[in-house]
Structure 1
Amino acid sequence: MRITLIANPSATGTSEQRIDRVRAELADTIDTEVFVTASRDEAVARARDATQHRHDAVVVIGGDGTVNAALNGMLGENIDADPADLPALGIIPGGHANVFAHALGLPREVPQAASLIRESLTTRQSHTVGLGRANDRWFALNAGLGIDAEVISSVEDLRQRGLPVSPAVYLAGLAKSWVQAHRWSSPMHIRVASSNGAVHDLRDMVFVIVQNTAPWTMLGDLPLHASARASLLAGLDVVAMESLSAATMVRILGSVLTGGGIAGDSGDAESSRPSSARPPRPPKPPKPEAIVLHDISRIHITAQKPVPVQIDGDLWRPCTELTLVGHPHAVRVLAPAPLGLDPGGHG
């Protein structure tokens, strides 16, 4: 049994000591190649090599950006890959938000996370989940166009000025992005095809989030929702808005910070994991400012001028056209058994 361990030393919660602890936890029983990467491209290349050499798993120590890099290395251009022919994905949370790890119910601490990976590999147990693809880039969490991406750009600018990442910095980035909306905003036309064949046309949208899972993001330990019904076991969810007025922003911010979400469908949705403890509460209706569509297979977005784009929390190039496609049963993950995800063995 062989695994590739990809560590991002620049991730907020990843230190040399953490990497050494993970190595010690895994390498005593599993043939482990460890790579401390210096860039996203290197992480992509290491995951691609692990796939080509048919390693049993790619384990990431880092945040959502490193997870995204590993997934893009593992799948690449192979949109029809059989998950059984790919390494399974393991995650040791080491970033700032760790949204995908939260959605999968993964433990934060190294001993527990490493033990889960070791046990899953030993028993050859994994779970198959869906992914999204935006043009030529895979995503596990979401893709955002408009203020969602512009906030990330503003936060990066504040970080460059020496401010540490914190909820306050994100709120400052939101305020800065909203004030400067005239600089980056552009009306978008969104054509959506659902899994049942229905087609929807949304015009003059100024903000859109396409989700593969919930939550949308994390503010410290608080999960924030756009569409809380988004699931790794279904198609993509689309949340679109046609206004960023002050009144709209106040209502949406209040809803998000109190667990309601942009879509207003908080229900029973801490994550995409089904709850066995109690039946889900019926979803609330969408906020009047939001258009919400569930279980979507394909989305085509055009804009009059380039709009900012983020994919899994990383800035992408601004664009005037973007096609997003849901790919169910795309990759196997090493996650806790109670998740209710589709089983997929290694062999």
Structure 2
Amino acid sequence: MRALLVVNPKATTTSGRTRHVLTHALASDLKLEVAVTEYRGHARDLAYQAATDGTMDLVVALGGDGTVNEVVNGLLAHGPSERVPRLAVVPGGSTNVFARTLGLPNDAVEATGVLLNALEERRERVIGLGKAMTSGLPDRWFTFCAGLGFDAGVVGRVEERRMAGRRSTHALYVNEALRHYVTERERRRAGSITLRIPGREPVPGLVFSIVSNTSPWTFLGNRPVYPSPRASFDTDLDLFGLTRMTVASTARTVRGLLGRTAPGPRGRHVVAYHDLRHFTLVSQESVPFQVDGDHLGDRTDVSFTGVRRALRVIV
């Protein structure tokens, strides 16, 4: 099998020596080419080339969720097709939500062993993905989540700290979430986002919204977080949002997020939907937007669609 290994050299949990060992192990079973990313978006460009020229059967992403997202967007630049190479993932980031949701170990060496076994046994899974669309901007595929509003603001703050030299850790996310909660006091009381679902009444006043393609939404260390426990790679998209974030209601929501009992957190200010094919989020003002933990700036409107059986994954 012809394979391209896309390596993010800045992946936070793998050293150069570890990446060398993993590359050698994969090369023993595959006709392997290795490409090291050099700039943001490079993984997407490499995967796009592999999908376009038809020279690869498999693209392996060695990195975190951001690297995986770029590879997926490169592979699916022209949409799902039987001609699109399969995807495999070796987790190298700080959280690795997509890889862990697929059932892979969070350790890169162990995950490589699972991948090699899957290749030998020809195991693969066809998964659904989400697509986010804004007029005038490129569409963006996502593997596990997207967010508009508060949670995307936290992602943006974390990216600013990382650009300033801070290491990506779970403690950094928690600290920035608390700081963002304090600084966004007015916006927590009156949300500017409206949910529009075809054929239904609009739902106004959302402070934030989390769109899930699978569950969990993220991890705090080894603790999974579940805004939409029924979300799945085999259904369309789930949405979870809040219309108000008081101290008391937010504390109740956080407790609910840490439990995995369906249908998920509930309360007077909770908005939750399961298995939506199409919907749009519209904001009265520009608010932060993220996909798969990658901050994409501010948006006033984003449309979402669930695409079933979008990609073949070795797992």
Q: 1:156 aligns with which of 156, 159, 166?
A: 159
Q: What is the aligned partner in structure 2 of residue 147 from structure 1?
A: 150
CA distance in 2, matches of 1:121, 1:98: 21
Query: SS where residue 98 of structure 2 aligns?
Result: helix
CA distance in 1, matches of 2:201, 2:101: 28
Q: What is the aligned partner in structure 1 of residue 40 from structure 2?
A: 40
Q: What is the aligned partner in structure 2 of residue 226 from structure 1?
A: 227
Q: What is the aligned partner in structure 1 of residue 136 from structure 2?
A: none
Larger mean CA deviation between 216-225 and 120-129 belongs to 120-129
Structural RMSD (CA)? 1.9
CA distance in 2, matches of 1:36, 1:150: 30
CA-CA distance at 1:162 after TM superposition: 4.7
Q: What is the aligned partner in structure 2 of residue 174 from structure 1?
A: 177
CA distance in 1, matches of 2:24, 2:84: 25
CA distance in 2, matches of 1:139, 1:124: 25
Sort the Cα spacing of 1:184 and 1:4 in 2 relative to 1 into closer, same or farther, 3 A.
farther
Q: What is the aligned partner in structure 2 of residue 3 from structure 1?
A: 3
Q: What is the aligned partner in structure 2 of residue 343 from structure 1?
A: none
Larger mean CA deviation between 171-180 and 311-320 belongs to 171-180
CA-CA distance at 1:52 after TM superposition: 1.8
Aligned ranges for residues 118-133 of structure 1 at < 5 Å?
118-133=116-131
**1:184–1:308 CA contact under 8 A, matched in 2:** no
Q: What is the aligned partner in structure 1 of residue 75 from structure 2?
A: 74
Structure 1, residues 58-78: CA drift from partner, whole Å, max 9, x if none?
A: 1011010000000000001x2
Query: SS where residue 68 of structure 1 aligns?
Result: helix
CA distance in 2, matches of 1:184, 1:177: 11
Query: SS where residue 112 of structure 2 aligns?
Result: helix
CA-CA distance at 1:182 after TM superposition: 5.4
**1:116–1:334 CA contact under 8 A, matched in 2:** no
**2:14–2:108 CA contact under 8 A, matched in 1:** no
Query: SS where residue 40 of structure 1 aligns?
Result: coil
CA-CA distance at 1:120 after TM superposition: 2.9
CA-CA distance at 1:220 after TM superposition: 1.1
CA distance in 1, matches of 2:235, 2:201: 18
Query: SS where residue 239 of structure 1 aligns?
Result: strand
TM-score, length-scaled by structure 1: 0.83
Structure 1, residues 122-154: CA drift from partner, whole Å, max 9, x if none?
A: 443311000000010000011111110111122
Structure 1, residues 42-91: CA drift from partner, whole Å, max 9, x if none?
A: 11111011112331111011010000000000001x23x22x22111101
**1:184–1:307 CA contact under 8 A, matched in 2:** no
Amino acid at match of 2:289: V
Q: What is the aligned partner in structure 2 of residue 52 from structure 1?
A: 52
**1:40–1:66 CA contact under 8 A, matched in 2:** no
Q: What is the aligned partner in structure 1 of residue 194 from structure 2?
A: 189
Q: What is the aligned partner in structure 1 of residue 98 from structure 2?
A: 100
Q: Percent identity?
A: 35
Q: What is the aligned partner in structure 1 of residue 239 from structure 2?
A: 238
CA-CA distance at 1:23 after TM superposition: 1.0
Query: SS where residue 26 of structure 2 aligns?
Result: helix
Q: What is the aligned partner in structure 2 of residue 331 from structure 1?
A: 311
**1:25–1:111 CA contact under 8 A, matched in 2:** no
Matched, 1:302 2:300: no
CA distance in 2, matches of 1:255, 1:175: 18
Matched, 1:24 2:24: yes
**1:192–1:199 CA contact under 8 A, matched in 2:** yes
CA-CA distance at 1:111 after TM superposition: 4.0
Sort the Cα spacing of 1:69 and 1:160 in 2 relative to 1 into closer, same or farther, 3 A.
closer
User: Which stretches in structure 2 are left out of the alignment for 5+ residues?
Assistant: 134-138
Larger mean CA deviation between 64-73 and 316-325 belongs to 316-325
When the two structures are aligned, how many residues end up with a matched partner?
Answer: 307
Sort the Cα spacing of 1:285 and 1:241 in 2 relative to 1 into closer, same or farther, 3 A.
closer
Query: SS where residue 149 of structure 1 aligns?
Result: helix
TM-score, length-scaled by structure 2: 0.91
CA-CA distance at 1:252 after TM superposition: 1.8
CA-CA distance at 1:183 after TM superposition: 7.7
CA distance in 1, matches of 2:242, 2:86: 36
